[in-house]
């Protein structure tokens, strides 16, 4: 087993659902220290490792937490199974391995790589929110699965709200609506409005609501209903626009925003994208551009950093969060080579 495959397996073997990421952060710090590189754990619990003399900062931002649900770690037919193998320890190990290769060969002359393994991406992105005011990189690479031969340019935005309504208890034979009926009517109004807005649009350009939870409670005098609603947003609808609509529709209910991040999409004609295109073609790939209907930490940091950006990482994102989560080890190896070459290309490009 190569050292790079051993790194991947070792961090996948650490079961790190959101809130329990420290074993992987500490392991990555030790891995960088053994290579003679600067590394630490920041105030949020993020892993931060650095390589290269600068002055052009390039942030490689992955995440080290996973969704819950432990999967037995095993290798079968060239595939590594385990929670986080795809989302997103595969991309994180790719970042670390390519960085260590470049540092070992002294290939970096003009860039400083800042490799971050963020906590809580599967929660509220607290790790990314912690770093957003601490760095101002010239280039941003997000570590998420898209396939070794693909470049992901953008992600839909998101708005998560908590709806709460309390009303005096109504008799079931009376004319007034109960609290649950009012809440369900609110949800149906949102869904119907989204259907109208989405007509004829591709998925990336649609508003996609999801009712994650609904609970009701009564004490004989009043009834309370609570809903957790998560809405995926296209580029043309920012969180504030939708929040204002929901508050207007809420009536006597309370609307609390848990978080809201806009959709983001990077450009194709940047030194960063060109560096990756060259690297992919060197590996014999026909590069593909993608956009994702989910979200990532790109949504948190990109609006503040306003720099060239993309997401890259091995793995099939259709396996995210599933009981069958696994990564093709050959694809992981290829992705390390692509990223190493892309970062070499970028280091040369920024010299001018």
In tens, the pLDDT along 229-263 reads: 999 999 999 999 999 999 999 999 999 999 999 99
Identical topology for domains 3-155+263-349 and 157-261: no
- What pLDDT score does 176 carry? 75
Per-residue pLDDT reduced to its tens digit, 137-190: 999 999 999 999 999 999 999 999 999 999 887 645 456 788 999 999 999 999
Q: How do strand 139-143 and strand 56-63 relate by DSSP bridges?
A: parallel
Residue 213 phi/psi, 5-degree rounding, is: -160, 145
- Give the span between the Cα atoms of 42 and 26, in whole angstroms: 11
- Give the span between the Cα atoms of 182 and 216, in whole angstroms: 12
What's the first-to-final CA gap in the chain, in angstroms?
A: 40
Distances (CA, A) of 174 to 92, 177, 179, 183, 251: 58, 8, 13, 18, 21
3-state DSSP assignment of residue 165: strand
- What pLDDT score does 93 carry? 98
To the query of whether residue 121 is one of the catalytic residues in this protein, the response is yes
- Give the span between the Cα atoms of 26 and 173, in whole angstroms: 61
pTM: 0.91
Domain chopping of the chain, boundaries: 3-155+263-349, 157-261
* Annotated catalytic residue within 57, 121, 144, 297: 121
Confirm if 335 and 167 have CB atoms less than 8 A apart: no
CATH of domain 3-155+263-349: 3.40.630.10
* Annotated catalytic residue within 57, 65, 144, 340: 65
Confirm if 262 and 106 have CB atoms less than 8 A apart: no
- What pLDDT score does 172 carry? 52
- As a whole number, the mean pLDDT across the chain is 95
* Structure token digits, residue 275: 């560096």
Q: 3-state SS string over 21-88?
A: CHHHHHHHHHHHHHCCCEEEECCCCCEEEEECCCCEEEEEEEECCECCCCCCCEEECCEEECCCCCCC
* Beta-sheet strand order (sheet of 74-76): 74-76, 79-81, 326-328
Tell me 177's DSSP state: P
To the query of whether residue 65 is one of the catalytic residues in this protein, the response is yes
Task: Annotate 238-252 with b (16+ C-beta within 10 A) or e (fewer).
Answer: bbeebbeebeeebee
Digit-by-digit pLDDT tens for the chain (352 residues) are 799 999 999 999 999 999 999 999 999 999 999 999 999 999 999 999 999 998 999 999 999 999 999 999 999 999 999 999 999 999 999 999 999 999 999 999 999 999 999 999 998 899 999 999 999 999 999 999 999 999 999 999 999 999 999 988 764 545 678 899 999 999 999 999 999 999 999 999 999 999 999 999 988 788 999 999 999 999 999 999 999 999 999 999 999 999 999 999 999 999 999 999 999 999 999 999 999 999 999 999 999 999 999 999 999 999 999 999 999 999 999 999 999 999 999 999 998 6
Nearest CA to 119 out of 171, 174, 43, 37 is that of 43
Locate all alpha helices (DSSP H) within 166-297, ordered by sequence.
Answer: 179-198, 239-250, 271-282
| Architecture of the structural domain at 157-261 | 2-Layer Sandwich (3.30)
């Amino acid at each position: 087993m190569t050292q790079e495959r051993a790194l991947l397996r070792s961090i996948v073997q650490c079961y790190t659902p959101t809130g329990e990421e420290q074993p992987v952060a500490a392991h990555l710090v030790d891995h960088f220290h053994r290579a003679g590189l600067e590394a630490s754990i920041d105030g949020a619990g993020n892993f931060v490792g650095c390589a290269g003399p600068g002055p052009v900062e390039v942030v490689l931002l992955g995440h080290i937490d996973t969704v819950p649900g432990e999967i037995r770690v095993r290798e079968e037919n060239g595939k590594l199974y385990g929670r986080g193998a795809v989302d997103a320890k595969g991309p994180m190990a790719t970042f670390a391995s390519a960085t260590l290769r470049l540092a070992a060969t002294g290939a970096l002359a003009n860039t400083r790589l800042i490799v971050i393994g963020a906590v809580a991406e599967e929660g509220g992105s607290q790790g990314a929110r912690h770093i957003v005011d601490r760095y101002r990189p010239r280039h941003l690479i997000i570590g998420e699965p898209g396939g070794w031969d693909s470049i992901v340019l953008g992600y839909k935005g998101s708005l998560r709200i908590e709806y709460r309504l309390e009303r005096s208890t109504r008799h079931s034979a009376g004319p007034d609506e109960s609290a649950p009926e009012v809440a369900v009517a609110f949800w149906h109004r949102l869904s119907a409005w989204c259907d109208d807005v989405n007509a004829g649009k591709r998925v990336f350009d649609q508003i996609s609501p999801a009712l994650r939870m609904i609970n009701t409670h009564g004490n004989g005098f009043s009834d309370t209903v609570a809903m957790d609603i998560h809405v995926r947003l296209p580029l043309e609808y920012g969180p504030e626009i939708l929040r204002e609509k929901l508050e207007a529709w809420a009536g006597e209910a309370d609307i609390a925003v848990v978080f809201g991040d806009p959709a983001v999409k990077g450009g194709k004609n940047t030194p960063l994208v060109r560096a990756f295109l060259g690297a992919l073609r060197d590996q014999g790939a026909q590069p593909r551009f993608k956009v994702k209907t989910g979200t990532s930490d790109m949504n948190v940091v990109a609006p503040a950093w306003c720099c060239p950006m993309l997401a890259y990482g091995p793995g099939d994102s259709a396996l995210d969060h599933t009981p069958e989560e696994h990564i093709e080890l050959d694809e992981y190896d290829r992705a390390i080579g692509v990223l190493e070459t892309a970062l070499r290309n970028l280091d040369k490009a920024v010299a001018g």
